[in-house]
Structure 1
Amino acid sequence: MEPRIGERIIGRDHPAGLLRAAVDRAVASHGGLVLVAGEPGIGKTTLVTAAADEARQRGALVLGAACWDSDSAPGYWPWVQVMRGLRRSADDWALARESSEPALRVLLGEDTGAGTGSGSGSGPADLADGDHEAFALYDAVTTALVSVSQRRPVIVVLDDLHWADPASMRLLRFATQHTWFERLLVIGTYRDAEVESAEHRLHPLLMPLTAKATTVTLTGLSRAEVGALISRTAGREPDAELLSEVHRRTGGNPFFVEQTARLWRAGGQVTTIAPGVRQAVQRRLAELPDAVVEVLTVAAVLGRDFHRQVLAACMPGPVAQVDRLLDRAVTARLVAARGEGRFTFAHDLVRETLYDALPDDDRRARHAAVVRAVDLSGALAERLIPADLARHAWLAGGALGRPAPPACSPPPAATRRGGWPRRRRWCTTAARWRSPTTRPSGSGRWSTSDGTCTTTPAGPRPTVSSPRPGRSRSPSTTRCCWRGSRTPCTGRRPSRTVRAPRRSCCGRRTGGSSASRTPLRRSPRSPPT
């Protein structure tokens, strides 16, 4: 049985089917252009390699090339590799040389003074300077490929087009436009997150090709597909909790999943960032402007999910500028919009890489900035749950410039809006963040003397006798430092204590407040005195 595209590729059945149809069409009648897009590590090269292997087994001539991310690369570098691959096939090279040898020799750097009509001795890197010389080269390369396609199908694979030089992209556009009805199929891969940015130098050259090409966009693997990839890489089945953690942190990126699975197989923790993954994320961040990286860093401090208003309040620039930088991060596929002003990181590994790169002092200062921003704006407290605000207050430490806020008190903004029902949640979550290794089942408070937290121990709460028969109450082991008293912290607004009035023999109240000294109405059931 013939091997099929995607037989060993997990989660790529539909993209493999599109490439298989393109190869079948090129072998039978005519080719075209297929562009495979996706983020780094998503599996573009793996998918295209499988398609090239099948085409080669079906008798097609496969010519591969890869672009190089360096200013030292010569002009038309991917097409130079294509022609070198064509020259390795003697019979096919004889056909190509017969139709367009002079220009091909110039492209390959073998003859710098003939073929293009200029006679100036210029190399292939200088051909883009003149329209006539460039057109002659485009026509020579296209004619050579068409001549070979008359003998057998030709598959040209151009990897990493986002690093190509502009002259190579113009040659690609010329070749695909003039060979549409020939048995010539061109397959290219590129990072859509980079090229789709208007600031990319190839944006005006590559984006028009997507309208005429069959575009295959690769996304992250599903949870079940991540489990299958972990099992194949590590050699054992992951449990449900570990699978969910890996899928959440990697976003289904196959490269990230494989690196994490290898780390797990070696005995490491899946919460640790693999060195290869960290380097890949850092290279991706290095391609962005510094202002965008700064916005992403503040967002990493806020957490995986954050709100646009909270992010803007923590940035020194105007809100409009923060919105533009955030849109750039969305275009780079590093964060995704969830609607209603909320955003989330595409991969938790990106957030962790940004957060781990911060020094300790800078990290505490950024957490303190979040707390101050919420204190100054009551509307921002609606965008953060008490647990997040307690986490920022705890991680800020002494950077707040004042004693840490009471753990059993709600934030001032929440109190001003009548947020007393949130108080119990604030006590519990703040106590949890003060003791990260344990999860106490009670309230907690900050100690302004030593910075420690007193929490209610877990387990059944003791009961004490109540003044009223048949009832008991459960005391709290901590004082309510929001109210500044020694009364148990019940999470309710303290009520004013009024001295109970005494009843005299004539039925009048005495001993209470003067406003309440009114005759006491007799109960209809009580006998007259």
Structure 2
Amino acid sequence: MDVVRMPLPGALRSVPPISYVGRVEERALVAASLQEVSAGSRRVTFISGESGIGKTRLASHSALEAHAAGFTVLWGAAHDELSAPYAPWVEALNHYVEHAPESVLREHVGRHGGELTRLLPALRQVIPDIPSPRESDPETERYLLFGAVLGLLEAATRASRMAIVLDDLQWADRQTLLLLKHVAEQTQALPLLVVGAFRESDLDQSHPLTSVLADMRQVEGVERMALAGLAADDVVELMSAAAGHEMDELGTRLAAEILEETGGNPFFVGEILHHLTESGALERGTDGRWRLTRSITELGLPASVRDVVRRRIERLGDDLSDILIVAAVIGRTFDTELLARLVKLDEDELIDALDKALEAAVVVESPDRVGRFNFAHALINHTLYEGLSATRRARMHQRVAEALEDLCGDDPGERISELAYHWSLATASVDPAKAIGYATQAGERALKELAPDEALRWFNHALELLGAGAGDSAERCALLVGSGEAQRHLGDPAFRETLLEATGIAHRSGDDVRLVRAVLANTRGWHTAAGAVDDGRVDALEAAIAAVPGATADGARLRALLAGELTFSGDFPRVRTLIDEALSTARGVDDRRALADVLSSVSNALLGSADTASERWALSAELVRLADELADPQHQFYAALWRYTCAVQVGDVDEMDLNLQRLQTVSEDVGQPTMRWASLYNGSVRAHLAGDLARAEALALESGGLGHETGQTDALMIVGVQLFAVRHEQGRLDELVDIIAQRAAENPGVPTLQGTLAFTYSELGRIDDAAAIFEPVAQDDFAVLPFDVAWIPGMSRYAEVAARLGAVDAAVSIYDKLVPYRDQIVSSVLTVNGSVERILGVLAATLERWELADRHFAAASEVHERIAAPLFLARTWMNWGRALTSRGDEERGRDRLERAAELARQHDGAAIEREAAGLLAGQVSA
């Protein structure tokens, strides 16, 4: 590869020159990781330990070693309380963009367009003609951003090996950590070292880093280093390095005393040495060597690191101490412009004062921005801050907030989170209105910056400040809407209840704008749950429709969403009216995104009738074209989803595979969990159709796991029906019958469950049990089955039960009902059962209309051969062989049965193979 040499990040250019001591084992692990990365594999190393233990120092050493070996090195850090969304990644990747070859950046842009500008606006300065990022819903945009970061790392590591250090992850926002997890999981083949450092004591079970670390335990190439204190020899070596000479016996005794006091904490050791030199207890003699001016027992070593920090600050004088206390209230990082306003000094006077703090190693200058300083260690600003009383802290936060307001004016921009932070901590001494207002603004900005976790934190904080007494206030409604949107983007199923609460407040208070926003946000992209109606969402949609004029884009969206929620209501005339109104309005307004939204929702709603295949086929083609024009991944995904489900139903293999591939590509590129879930269970359908039962089962189980993790309400139901289809082919329905019987008993009003149980009994030879369910349904002419997308599959199940029972009258009725759909594949969207022609053949054979049965079986065979559906072809041949044998055509019957058994055997279709073999042996009554 062409090695690209890049300068060190500023944080590493300021690393103290003192030699690195101790950590022999850890440094060896770092060296081994660098070798493995050089060989082409990704490594992730987490460094943990208490404050001051040397995490940042070891991470810096690792980065410097990598740079010396020719790596491109990037550095980013989170900051206590005020860390902006994705801050460590922004800091690290901005350095890369600033120094990278333009060819590498253009290669990235060619693949990902302008997605990365959401995170790194500076990329536009390097590539002015970069396109704008694609517009979609915020959740999709966030996953596109993740993909773009991954793409940049892929392009960068083709030019040079890379090491990225992310420091102080205990303060990182959840999105930073999720992006880290995504990078770790998706870069195994890249020459990349990622080092993450964090303070273990700051983590509890609710901390997002805790769950990320747990998830990454099983990821290959990820390791953790837990740092302990330095050993006695290491402390002696550290003191020798600081002194510039080897320690004598007295120095070694002093090292042992310091070790006992500090537990080997390197920062504490260093602070003790600062304390001893600054207090005059340790000084250099005329020979340049350290010597003690008093005995070790007289030293009075501080009992804690905070004690020694306090003593060091006190020696700087009251004026500078007061300045540093104000700086500590601002945060770990502070700039002179803001600090000068607070301490009533001009900037030159302030810089003169800070020079003393620089000399004392209490603060360091930011290498990347003039006028910005950092406390040398988090323990320093924490010690200063914690020395203030609660009342004093609140008052000082108010002063900082007011100074920020003066500095920022009406447009705080990226500093809005600082304002929200300081006003939130000033509420003990002021009215909370400002804190609530700024927290709300910070939440809205975080949503726009694709940081829903940060947004949710601010919205929830504002809700706490607002208090339970806020009732139906407009403020509470706005905060609930923001919280619900953030929860939805995070995949938290609680978004439904949050947004319904906001809807209720908006409706009662007549706030139509927030009502519409809340209702439009309260969807996962299609109906809430297959086979069910969400009454809460229906009520909310109806309220919003009543509040919004129909001839608007939002009016069209609302009607289409309501139609989708009513998919399984059994009231298709109402659904039809809503569909027609939504389409008419959407086509009448000049808004292509609204039309795409409506087409997607309508494609969903049309599943409410068994008679809509041709209409869905036409609309899905229109949606595919429109989604490609918009270049919106969300619309492209749903266009492919609805086109694929139609292609299965009409048996168009080319469209089936093309759109399944599009589904999988978009879901992989975007990485959005709901998309990945839908891609998995639709892949299971395709695998079943192709006769790959092992893959069908694996995909169904994987989708079930992901659906459960992401709170999909129908995940268990979907994996259940797909596993039923697989177990049927495998001849293992006996494993499920008791579960199905229990579910049917618990849900006597769910006709699909009753039909599935009757079918299962009939397949297992429990004819009386099957008849007990079948006969009452048949007497009512199957009116119990809703005429929706599940109607053809349901009637097909009852058709096969009728055949097993020899129920001639029922067979006539079912035949007449199904014959208009003879050109379709039996599909519920979630499962398939071959061509309707096969079912008609089974019914015709039951009626002993042999020539008609032959025509249907021949047509079914042709369909199954054309769409390469071997198990359904084998089942067709088995049904046909049974019919031929029943009417005395033994030779042709045997041929079909033998072919069925062999084909089923090749595809693990034990049920077909066993039944065909039984028929051949005369063991099953023909």
Q: TM-score range by the shorter chain?
A: 0.3 to 0.5
User: Greater RCO between the two (CA within 8 Å, min separation 6)?
Assistant: 1
TM-score by length of 2: 0.27
Higher strand share: 1
TM-score by length of 1: 0.47
